[in-house]
Amino acid sequence: METKRDRKAWLKGGAAQCDTPPLDSKTPRRLVLLGAPGVGKGTQAELLGARLGACHLSTGDIFRTAKGLDACERTPAMTAALEYMRRGELVPDETVLALVAERGGCLGCCGGFLLDGFPRTVAQADALDKLLKEQRVKLDAVLSYELPLEQIVARLSGRRTCAGCKAVFHLEARPPKVKGVCDHCGGSLYQREDDRPESIRVRMAAYEKSTAPLASFYRRRGLLVPILADGSPEEIFQRSLEALTARGRKPATVAG
């Protein structure tokens, strides 16, 4: 079984600490992965994380972890957030920002980060700027994954997710070695509730309205790196690495 970073500090928040702390990289990568639901951000985050050593920080994974808790262990805001998520709607900025602020230390982590699913609105992007300043770090780039809608829907309908470590598989494009079992931790694989057709439609609409404008937000800051998300996960991963190399380690034009 391959080992995967446990991300406990990010997934649980509060005083939780990671069991496997990152190596202290001299050149930590700090990236945002942008793109429509199902385009493959989580898949690329896993591949990039394994190569670059940066931690995969997904806000969706925070909510899915909270879903596994007993109802009495969740705050009312989290219970409400899970209901938004089930319908495919965005969770209110206030709730998301409180969760991310509580995990601000993960942004300053010496191993770097790959933010996936955050920011998702201009208000969240502004808040991220502030959090990064507080941690005295800057974004290297925003990788923006682009693909036509029909292909995205096919990816979502075949997705299976690990209940334990949240690793992502696809029934055809990225099947697990043993049916229904996670390659990384041996956890069982399940289909996400928000991958039903009615939730997918709501998620796509929320993306177009609230998240797509972030492309111009980051283009203006000289951070946007568009990546064609067609082809196999490994091909897109290679494209991502090449785009990062081509960009070099040029600092952001505007402070993050």
CB nearer ligand AP5, residue 29 or residue 120: 120
**Starting at the edge strand that comes first in sequence, how are the strands of the sheet with 168-170 ordered?**
168-170, 159-162, 189-190
Is there a catalytic annotation at residue 41? yes
Residue 55 forms beta bridges with which residues? Answer: 113
Q: Is 96 in the site for ligand AP5 (CB under 6 A)?
A: yes
At a CB cut-off of 8 Å and minimum separation 6, what does 233 contact? 40, 43, 44, 47, 173, 174
Q: Give how far Cα 61 sits from Cα of 17, 56, 68, 163, Å.
A: 16, 10, 11, 10
Question: Pattern of binders to ligand AP5 over 98-137, x per CB under 6 A?
Answer: -------------------xx-x---x-------------
**Binding ligand AP5 by CB under 6 A: which of 88, 111, 112, 256?**
88
CB nearer ligand AP5, residue 85 or residue 244: 85
Decide: 82 and 66 in contact? Cβ < 8 Å.
yes
What is the dihedral sign for C-alpha 113, 44, 205, 202?
A: negative
Helix (H, G, I), strand (E, B) or coil at 209: helix
CB nearer ligand AP5, residue 163 or residue 173: 173
**Binding ligand AP5 by CB under 6 A: which of 170, 189, 223, 239?**
170
Q: Is 63 in the site for ligand AP5 (CB under 6 A)?
A: yes
Is there a catalytic annotation at residue 120? yes
Number of amino acids touching ligand AP5 (CB under 6 A): 38
Is there a catalytic annotation at residue 196? no
**Binding ligand AP5 by CB under 6 A: which of 98, 163, 173, 252?**
173
Angle, helices 59-67 vs 93-102, to 10°: value is 90
Decide: 5 and 18 in contact? Cβ < 8 Å.
yes
* Catalytic positions: 41, 120, 159, 192, 203
Give the footprint of ligand AP5 on this chain (CB under 6 A). Answer: 35, 37-43, 58-60, 63, 84-85, 88-91, 96, 117-118, 120, 124, 155-156, 158-159, 168-170, 173-174, 194, 203, 231-233, 236
